Chain A
């Protein structure tokens, strides 16, 4: 091993490759932390906007109450329907996770804050972030990309000719004339290289993330960082194992390089895109175009029958009926009934979406083991908090907050009560709670096993083939 190290350090190519790896890791970490900072700033300015608006509303409430200012019903902050639909909206948001800068993941595609109103969920759930779609298509140059795509290349560059190179140089037969088996030699060579490359990748990426301002004091982030190390190491081990297996076949260096490039293409491009296509055609998501139509038709139907709907709604909720029976229902009250009916009739359509997307996710979860790259990608997104899992967790919290928001305002609309500045302090507030560390760790552990198993699966037979390696000829 010492001898190998001397060999490696004498060669200029490894040094150049390591420098290159260092540079792309630094660039990836920089991009990730910039994105996290961007998201944090956006959320912070949204919350500042909310605070400013609330201060104005408080002041306006006092002025309108005192008769100093006249406003139309749509702009009266004391009316719960105007307040809840447009003026007093509160933000529900998904802050970037502690290790968010490791993987931008899906976080550039999904909205990370909503302005929650008393309107239907569909009316505020799509506050997409603006982005040049060409950038969404290409994806981002983050650390996850570096580890998924480039780090295997560095590994392959170090190991594609691990045996064949020595054979071609004529040193293999010489070395093996010593009391050392080919298996030991290969393992020693790989051990050295893998220690070097993996340590480089892990240390540099941790350094990059820390410099980028990751918060290690957050609960569970130390454990997640350990998983990052473990998964990076296991994923690297898989590529080293492949290189050994290809070398064991006993072909020349050029053939080995072609075979390994082909495998890289297979695991990183062909299998993922084929899986994507299969998943999409097995569980096709209904078209959003149809959903829009369904929502529109439902909305119209319920508007048409709004007075009947209101009567039915008040039958269901007699405690909310206004005291005098003859008072004509106002716009705000009608709207509640209409919204509820519309949502009820659109719900099946939305459920169909959710169930198809969930089925797709399940299928991906099951078949991701076909390519270690997919396993590693899912794990990286998960531990960086930019996965579909954490997003679903956020959506459910936004939903809960939406229900609380309505729960606070709807009774007041129906009872035709007016809001006071004191009510502003009683309004439900939103705070994001992270997913439990246990649930995340269980998924990450499964990923780690899913990566180590193929390593064993490739390495063990490869080492057996090694004994039949044609050292000469």
Chain B
């Protein structure tokens, strides 16, 4: 019975001009946004590969110099874009694209692409994610608001019930019907998207993108399921189709447009972001006086000197068998690393707590959970930015250690010292592997939980209200 109803609903919808027009608009926007995303992705990827090679080349061919000069010269790490970011740019426009890995300092990422755009960008970007998170739910609302209320107004609902159709079958059948019509729209788009990803990136990247795409689709299906169930419930519950429509449109706007902004400000007031100025001052102070404030740099150097003199049983730095400057530099790096670890761990935990607030708010607006899942599996959310930043920082530390180790071993305490190409080549090229889909899935567990809860609750509500609804 459920499938018979579903088939009737689908046939009716496909024959309905309004569905055809709105579906065509949504499909055109989806295809257009995927095309834009594909173009953007290909461009960024080519730039990234070229820049990564260039910075490596520069490092290898920097000529003879002191290893510490080379450490200051450093390299750049450029953030790669993930293949699925062609569906969802996520926070990519709002995080920097490159970080300079130099001596003494963990730098911030520089150059946020959004800074090179106009204020129109703040209305939101036309991406696959916008269409899927904002427009498709609207289409669902328009398809379902009069599913029961409309039949009631036409009087066909009474006929149906008199035929002995179970209201719960009716609700499920209608849900399956709407879902089926949407799939007619989504399946071609998914196929086109997969082809685009395969064409734009190498085989390895495509293989890594597949499980991510699977998870992302699951997230979206749950999200659409929640909308279909919820709309049917409202349609069965509402006194008229007009009332159902107004309520559903109100919820759609709250979910898609109000909740994200409100969530930012609520999260910010519960867990304020420190100012960059405050962050910088604190870090500077910690670098100067030690992480606990009782370990100033001068005293540290003095102690290192005394320890070394004692260890090698000599009376002056010049007589040490190891290079004192190198030891001091590495000591400075070690101290700095401790300070940076503290500072960034604090900052990132603020962001993580803010994101947790967003997830709690997703209990009121499922769009927040869908956004989190979508960005997460697209590889364009903040945790994955931090993952890259961590990898880049580890590389920086390795590079500094290599330089300082060479100084300690080979440099003299009295004469100038220069190293050459062999030392530069000892530092391997920076390779970054994005985290696997499971890593993201572990982070998105609660978002999935909330969406699943929404979906189940919505479908149950649809069945429940259908059983109890007034038929006339």
- The yes or no answer to B405 lying at the interface (CB within 8 A) is no
Chain B residues contacting A41 (CB-CB under 8 Å) are: 275
- The stretch among B190-198, B261-269, B406-414 that forms the contact with chain A is B261-269
A178 to chain B, nearest CB (A): 27
B245 to chain A, nearest CB (A): 5
With A258-B245, A276-B125, A276-B126 as given contacts, are A126 and B91 in contact (CB-CB < 8 Å)? no
Indicate if the CB atoms of A272 and B120 lie closer than 8 Å: yes
Chain A residues contacting B245 (CB-CB under 8 Å) are: 254, 257-258
A439–B373 Cα distance when bound, in Å, is: 45
Q: Whose C-beta in chain B lies nearest to the C-beta of A275? A: B120
- The yes or no answer to B60 lying at the interface (CB within 8 A) is no
Q: What 0/1 readout, one digit per residue, does chain B (187-211) give for beta carbons within 8 Å of chain A?
A: 0000000000000000000000000
Q: What 0/1 readout, one digit per residue, does chain A (245-277) give for beta carbons within 8 Å of chain B?
A: 000000001100110010001001110111111
With A135-B268, A273-B130, A280-B117 as given contacts, are A45 and B276 in contact (CB-CB < 8 Å)? no
- The yes or no answer to B433 lying at the interface (CB within 8 A) is no
- The yes or no answer to B443 lying at the interface (CB within 8 A) is no
Q: Whose C-beta in chain A lies nearest to the C-beta of B39? A: A281
Chain B residues contacting A149 (CB-CB under 8 Å) are: 257-258
Q: What 0/1 readout, one digit per residue, does chain B (373-388) give for beta carbons within 8 Å of chain A?
A: 0010000011001000
Contact of A364 among B120, B138, B246, B265 (CB under 8 A): B120
- The yes or no answer to B118 lying at the interface (CB within 8 A) is yes
Chain A residues contacting B138 (CB-CB under 8 Å) are: 261, 265
Chain B residues contacting A364 (CB-CB under 8 Å) are: 118-120
Quick one: which of A269-322 are within 8 Å of B by CB? 269-270, 272-277, 279-281, 285, 287-293, 296-297, 300
- The stretch among B93-101, B317-325, B450-458 that forms the contact with chain A is B93-101
Contact of A254 among B95, B135, B242, B381 (CB under 8 A): B242
A277–B123 Cα distance when bound, in Å, is: 12
- The yes or no answer to B55 lying at the interface (CB within 8 A) is yes
Indicate if the CB atoms of A289 and B90 lie closer than 8 Å: no
Indicate if the CB atoms of A109 and B112 lie closer than 8 Å: yes
Contact of B76 among A269, A281, A292 (CB under 8 A): A292
Quick one: which of B112-138 are within 8 Å of A by CB? 112-126, 130, 134-135, 138
- The yes or no answer to B419 lying at the interface (CB within 8 A) is no
With A130-B274, A272-B123, A296-B58 as given contacts, are A138 and B263 in contact (CB-CB < 8 Å)? yes
- The yes or no answer to A328 lying at the interface (CB within 8 A) is no
- The yes or no answer to B146 lying at the interface (CB within 8 A) is yes
Indicate if the CB atoms of B267 and A135 lie closer than 8 Å: yes
- The stretch among A199-207, A221-229, A370-378, A422-430 that forms the contact with chain B is A370-378
A388–B118 Cα distance when bound, in Å, is: 8
Chain A residues contacting B116 (CB-CB under 8 Å) are: 285, 288, 353, 357
Chain B residues contacting A353 (CB-CB under 8 Å) are: 116
With A110-B115, A149-B257, A277-B125 as given contacts, are A135 and B264 in contact (CB-CB < 8 Å)? yes
Chain B residues contacting A140 (CB-CB under 8 Å) are: 261, 264-265
- The yes or no answer to B111 lying at the interface (CB within 8 A) is yes
- The yes or no answer to B47 lying at the interface (CB within 8 A) is yes
- The yes or no answer to B351 lying at the interface (CB within 8 A) is yes
Chain A residues contacting B265 (CB-CB under 8 Å) are: 27, 31, 140-141
Residue of A109, A130, A300 contacting most chain B CB atoms (<10 Å): A130
Indicate if the CB atoms of B249 and A261 lie closer than 8 Å: yes
Quick one: which of B126-176 are within 8 Å of A by CB? 126, 130, 134-135, 138, 142, 145-146
Chain A residues contacting B76 (CB-CB under 8 Å) are: 292, 296
Chain A residues contacting B93 (CB-CB under 8 Å) are: 137
A381–B119 Cα distance when bound, in Å, is: 9
Residue of B54, B122, B382 contacting most chain A CB atoms (<10 Å): B122
Indicate if the CB atoms of B78 and A289 lie closer than 8 Å: yes
**Binding site secondary structure of chain A:** helix
Chain A residues contacting B258 (CB-CB under 8 Å) are: 141, 149-150
Q: Whose C-beta in chain A lies nearest to the C-beta of B355? A: A134
Q: What 0/1 readout, one digit per residue, does chain B (355-366) give for beta carbons within 8 Å of chain A?
A: 100100000000
Chain A residues contacting B94 (CB-CB under 8 Å) are: 109, 131, 133, 136-137
- The yes or no answer to A82 lying at the interface (CB within 8 A) is no
Quick one: which of A112-148 are within 8 Å of B by CB? 113, 126-141, 145
- The yes or no answer to A471 lying at the interface (CB within 8 A) is no
With A140-B264, A277-B126 as given contacts, are A134 and B381 in contact (CB-CB < 8 Å)? yes
- The yes or no answer to A338 lying at the interface (CB within 8 A) is no
- The yes or no answer to A419 lying at the interface (CB within 8 A) is no
Indicate if the CB atoms of B91 and A268 lie closer than 8 Å: no
Indicate if the CB atoms of A127 and B276 lie closer than 8 Å: yes
B45 to chain A, nearest CB (A): 11
Interface size on B, residues (CB 8 A): 81
- The stretch among B223-231, B277-285, B299-307, B460-468 that forms the contact with chain A is B277-285
Indicate if the CB atoms of B124 and A273 lie closer than 8 Å: yes
Indicate if the CB atoms of B51 and A293 lie closer than 8 Å: yes
- The yes or no answer to B85 lying at the interface (CB within 8 A) is no
Chain B residues contacting A9 (CB-CB under 8 Å) are: none
B421 to chain A, nearest CB (A): 16
Contact of B264 among A27, A128, A139, A377 (CB under 8 A): A139
Chain A residues contacting B58 (CB-CB under 8 Å) are: 296-297, 300
Indicate if the CB atoms of A133 and B98 lie closer than 8 Å: no
Indicate if the CB atoms of A129 and B275 lie closer than 8 Å: yes
Indicate if the CB atoms of A360 and B117 lie closer than 8 Å: yes
- The yes or no answer to A437 lying at the interface (CB within 8 A) is no
- The yes or no answer to B29 lying at the interface (CB within 8 A) is yes
Chain B residues contacting A357 (CB-CB under 8 Å) are: 116, 118
- The yes or no answer to A243 lying at the interface (CB within 8 A) is no
Indicate if the CB atoms of B249 and A45 lie closer than 8 Å: no
Q: What 0/1 readout, one digit per residue, does chain A (348-382) give for beta carbons within 8 Å of chain B?
A: 00000100010011001000100001100110010
Indicate if the CB atoms of B118 and A361 lie closer than 8 Å: yes
Chain B residues contacting A291 (CB-CB under 8 Å) are: 111
A412 to chain B, nearest CB (A): 26
Indicate if the CB atoms of A374 and B277 lie closer than 8 Å: no
Indicate if the CB atoms of A128 and B276 lie closer than 8 Å: yes
Q: Whose C-beta in chain A lies nearest to the C-beta of B110? A: A126
Chain A residues contacting B273 (CB-CB under 8 Å) are: 130-132, 135
Indicate if the CB atoms of A138 and B117 lie closer than 8 Å: no
Q: What 0/1 readout, one digit per residue, does chain B (43-64) give for beta carbons within 8 Å of chain A?
A: 1100110010011001000000
B284 to chain A, nearest CB (A): 10
A161 to chain B, nearest CB (A): 8
With A133-B95, A270-B29, A290-B47 as given contacts, are A374 and B120 in contact (CB-CB < 8 Å)? yes
Indicate if the CB atoms of A276 and B123 lie closer than 8 Å: yes
Indicate if the CB atoms of A105 and B47 lie closer than 8 Å: no
- The yes or no answer to B290 lying at the interface (CB within 8 A) is no
B100 to chain A, nearest CB (A): 8
Quick one: which of B75-110 are within 8 Å of A by CB? 76, 78, 90-91, 93-98, 108, 110
With A109-B112, A128-B108, A277-B36 as given contacts, are A289 and B120 in contact (CB-CB < 8 Å)? no
**Could you jot down 23 A-B contacts, CB within 8 Å?**
A27-B265, A113-B277, A129-B276, A130-B276, A131-B273, A133-B94, A133-B385, A134-B355, A134-B375, A136-B91, A137-B93, A137-B94, A139-B264, A149-B257, A150-B258, A258-B245, A265-B138, A272-B123, A272-B124, A288-B116, A292-B76, A360-B117, A378-B119
Taking Cβ atoms with an 8 Å cutoff, the residues of A that contact B are 27, 31, 34, 38, 41-42, 45-46, 49, 105-106, 109-110, 113, 126-141, 145, 149-150, 153, 157, 161, 253-254, 257-258, 261, 265, 268-270, 272-277, 279-281, 285, 287-293, 296-297, 300, 353, 357, 360-361, 364, 368, 373-374, 377-378, 381, 387-388
3 A-B pairs with least C-beta separation: A272-B123, A133-B91, A273-B126
Query: Besides the contacts A135-B273, A288-B111, what 20 more A-B pairs have beta carbons closer than 8 Å?
Result: A45-B277, A49-B281, A105-B122, A109-B112, A128-B276, A130-B275, A131-B273, A132-B273, A137-B90, A140-B261, A141-B261, A257-B242, A265-B135, A269-B124, A270-B29, A276-B118, A292-B51, A364-B120, A387-B119, A388-B119
